[in-house]
Amino acid sequence: MAAIASSNPELSKLISQNFRTFRENSIVNGRILEIKQQVVLVDIGYKSEGAIPISEFEDEEFNVGDEIEVLLERLENDEGMVVLSKEKAAHKQNWDKIVKVYEDGGLVRGKVKGVVKGGLTVNVGVEAFLPGSQIDIIPPKDLNEYVGNVYEFKIVKVNDDRKNIVLSRREVIEAERAEQRSQFLDTVRIGDHVEGVVKNLTDFGAFVDLAGMDGLLHITDMSWGRINHPSEMLTIGQTIAVQILDVDKQKERVSLGLKQLQNNPWENIEARFPAGHRVRGKITKLVPYGAFVEIEPGVEGLIHVSELSWTKRITRPSDVLDLDQVIDAVVLSVNTEEQKISLGVRQLESNPWDIIDEKYPRGSQIKGKIRNLTAYGAFVELEDGIDGMIHVSDMSWTRKINHPSEVLKKGDEVEAQVIEIDKANQRISLGLKQLETDPWDNIDTRFKVGDLVKGTVAKIASFGAFVELQDDIDGLVHISQLSEEHVAKVKDIIKVGDEVTARVIKVDKQERRIGLSIKAVEYNEDQLMKESQAFDQLRPTTDMVGLEHAFSLASEEWSPSAGAMSALDQLKFDEDAKGE
């Protein structure tokens, strides 16, 4: 029988077919028998043919007699025909390949089919899902730009039961970039010039993609001049040439420089801009303490607010300067190491304080308007930006002035005498009383012991009363000189504003005081002499004080004594002179 079969091929084929085992859900070979309008008939060597929808043959050329692989879904349907599928055979074959690639950790190529919720669908032989987070290392703005493109993917998840496949293109890119970074770090050297693409901009600099390696271009290394933000020089996606400044292979960090590709404008800066040199530049930045001026590309100088004017009180540079304004200035100093240049504007003009003593010599008389009043004096404007100060102690020879508003007000036109000039500290001291003769110079010719005088009670103190006499000169009636009777309180006898008659019992030109007595009005010469001697014994004790000190004790508000400006007043003067 075997010999007969081997000698007859047709019989051998028939016997082989009769003994084949057909299993459902397996892939078998078939031959196209007939092509109809809706289906294609295929013979797999079974007792009946199978019909496959013609739609499963789209995008393929096929003819009668072609051998094809199909999936045997059922050996027989209700019509007695074999149920076959060409698409499912391909899907099963591709699925098995995908699972094998996934297990081996390999990559697959696929074409993006469309956009779905949360990502993209991809055809890798079977349909797979690509989440939006796994499309690229940079989150995409428009998913449609990927449709129709072919990429390589890594399979990150396979669900055999649900026939789901999840892909990642991002992991492929990151792996490629890791390899590129490794190669870059192995070959790059400090000082190399490389090209890169601006990947991102921040307030402190720009990240540049160097073929897979990100380098940081700090804002301070972009330009020798001042820039406020990297976007002033760069845009995302721009290709730029940079220099390698530093490489940290362990941390995979690269520092880049852009300005280093240009000549350093600070070289030989002192030779180009020596102190005293006049320059012209554009204001690039205004800050509370000054203005930055670009005097050549990459070189800026600072005009401090104090260098804007000799005389004007400028608190903010923005009050007198504008951004982008072109101005002239003078170089004051250059610090090459710190790359700093100090500039001044006021140096373009002569300092009026250099000749101030020639314009306002000591002892000369001036006229001016009261610009401001303080607790200790009045500022008089002599000319634009130059003031003199009248201290309260220089407003009257005889009166104790507690506040300048007692004799002056803002806006008054006054005459005064120049007392002193301090050019170093830019101060001019003025006086009102110096325009008049000091009445105490000839006081002993106007008032003599024994003279009968009339006056008005100006102030009351615990130790006595001050009586205003002619020419604003005050005399003191000690409490012991008010009455023959014992007096416990001065106000029990007299009050402010009372008109009184008293007798002069003491005139002390040196101490600038006059002693008066009300009880001695009717005294004879001998009695008067005794009271005068008794009054002398009261000087500089708790019972009797100098007239100037007595005034302060009688006043509710104390202020520095007459004469030179106190240390406190001097400090306040300095503050007001700067701040007004």
Using an 8 Å Cβ cutoff, are 362 and 434 in contact? no
Instruction: Count the domains in the chain.
Output: 6
Using an 8 Å Cβ cutoff, are 269 and 311 in contact? no
For range 490-507, the mean pLDDT: 90
Q: Which residue has the tokens 């009248």?
A: 390
Mean pLDDT, rounded, of the chain: 82
Cα distance between residue 177 and residue 313, in whole Å: 61
For residue 494, what are its two tokens? 């007299």
Cα distance between residue 285 and residue 228, in whole Å: 9
Residues comprising the chain, all counted:
580
Residue 200, H or E segment: strand 193-201
Q: Determine, yes or no, domain membership for 181.
A: no
At residue 9, the pLDDT reads 54
For range 509-526, the mean pLDDT: 85
Q: Determine, yes or no, domain membership for 421.
A: yes
For range 87-112, the mean pLDDT: 81
Residue 159 confidence (pLDDT) above 80: yes
154 bridge partner residues: 107, 168
Residues 449 and 488 occupy one common structural domain: yes
**Residue pLDDT, tens place only, 248-277:** 888 888 999 998 888 888 888 888 899 999
Of the residues 173, 202, 233, the one at which a domain ends: 173
Residues 328 and 397 occupy one common structural domain: no
Of the residues 62, 89, 116, the one at which a domain ends: 89
Q: Which residue has the tokens 């999840």?
A: 166
Of the residues 369, 401, 435, the one at which a domain ends: 435
Residues 82 and 160 occupy one common structural domain: no
At residue 19, the pLDDT reads 45
Residues 356 and 425 occupy one common structural domain: yes
The reported pTM is 0.45
Q: Determine, yes or no, domain membership for 162.
A: yes
How many CB atoms lie under 10 A from the CB of residue 470?
Answer: 11
Structural domain boundaries, residue 114: 105-173
Residues 289 and 339 occupy one common structural domain: yes
Burial letters for 212-225: b for 16+ Cβ neighbours within 10 Å, e otherwise?
bbbbbbbbebbbbe
CATH for 125: 2.40.50.140
Q: Determine, yes or no, domain membership for 561.
A: no
**Residue pLDDT, tens place only, 191-249:** 889 888 998 999 999 999 887 788 899 998 898 877 889 998 899 989 999 998 998 88
Residues 541 and 464 occupy one common structural domain: yes
